């Protein structure tokens, strides 16, 4: 199969074809996910919670991210690989540029950043310098203490409008992908239709262009609870590769996420 690029994902959106994404942190799982047809792998700073046993993602370092990005890169041949910039590694444009360079040199094909309007000049600067960016809005886990916990965002009119404005602003700044996390399904649908770049949802309903889940939740082995918006596919299938295939099929068919995985 040919390699997945941002152009591939844009074509999928234009054709109305759903695609799937998963987190990955090592070569072995990455290879299996790649072979089963996952289009996008994310080396997420979620590794702080699922691998390191932290309470949140804040302790993760750039060195942690580079190490796991190198591991995942060795396991894949076709999947688009995205790597998270961890907490406080992109507070200034100059800091972001240096740390993005490290992640790209480690094997990432794109970097992901959480933020709002303050981040848009940085995104513009990075894309002008050849670094593809995925913007992450809605519930941004690095801001968990500002939100007062892992809470659904965009439920009131003002915050819904802010999220819509952020989505359009990041597209204008040059972001090539957008992640929406934990927002009402109707808002996610409106955002997906309002921007021309592909939108990946997690806890954002079934009308986004794609879905992403944490691999440990898909396999039912997270150290904490499995979020409402996720699904244990290993319990359903009894086999890891079959679980991944079931996840892909249900996303493509519009079966997942179902109502019980969705915020309204």
Classify each residue of 108-139 as buried b or exposed e, where b means 16 or more C-beta atoms within 10 Å of its C-beta: bbbbbbbbbeebbebbbbbeeeebbbbbbbbb
Which of 39, 181, 249, 260 is labelled catalytic? 181
Q: β-strands 133-138, 40-43: how paired?
A: unpaired
Tokens of 226: 């499995």
Instruction: Please report how many Cα atoms fall inside a 13 Å half-sphere around the Cα of residue 209, on the Cβ side.
Output: 25
**What are residue 136's DSSP bridge partners?**
114, 179
Taking the C-alpha atoms of residue 1 and residue 80, their distance in angstroms, rounded to an integer, is 13
Tell me how far CA of residue 210 lies from CA of 1, 67, 199, 202, in angstroms. Answer: 19, 27, 6, 9
114 tagged catalytic: no
Three-state secondary structure of 72-120: HHHHCCCCEEEEECCCCCCCCHHHHHHHHHHHHHHCCCEEEEECCHHHH
CA distances from 34 to 112, 145, 212, 259 (A): 20, 35, 14, 28
Annotated catalytic residues are 181
């Amino acid at each position: 199969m040919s390699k997945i690029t941002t152009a591939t994902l844009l074509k999928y959106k234009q054709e109305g074809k759903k695609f799937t994404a998963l987190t990955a942190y090592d070569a072995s799982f990455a290879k299996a996910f790649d072979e089963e047809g996952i289009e996008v792998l994310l080396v997420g700073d979620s590794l702080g919670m699922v691998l390191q046993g932290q309470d949140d993602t804040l302790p993760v370092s750039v060195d942690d991210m580079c190490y796991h990005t190198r591991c995942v890169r060795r396991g894949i041949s076709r999947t688009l690989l995205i790597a998270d910039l961890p907490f406080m590694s992109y507070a200034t444009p100059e800091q972001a540029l240096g740390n993005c360079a490290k992640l790209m040199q480690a094997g990432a094909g794109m970097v992901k950043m959480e933020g709002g309007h303050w981040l848009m000049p940085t995104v513009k600067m990075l894309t002008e310098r050849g670094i593809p960016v995925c913007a992450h809005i809605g519930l941004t886990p690095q801001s968990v203490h500002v939100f007062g916990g892992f809470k659904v965002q965009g439920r009131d009119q003002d915050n819904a409008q802010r999220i819509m404005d952020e989505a359009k602003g990041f597209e204008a700044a040059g972001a090539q992908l957008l992640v929406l996390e934990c927002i009402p399904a109707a808002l996610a649908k409106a955002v997906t239709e309002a921007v021309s770049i592909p939108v990946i949802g997690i806890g954002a309903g079934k009308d986004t262009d794609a879905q992403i889940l944490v691999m440990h939740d898909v396999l039912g082995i997270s150290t904490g609870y499995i979020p409402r918006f996720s699904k244990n596919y290993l319990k359903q299938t009894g086999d890891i590769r079959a679980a991944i295939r079931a996840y892909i099929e249900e996303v493509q068919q519009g079966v997942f996420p179902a109502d019980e995985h969705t915020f309204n």
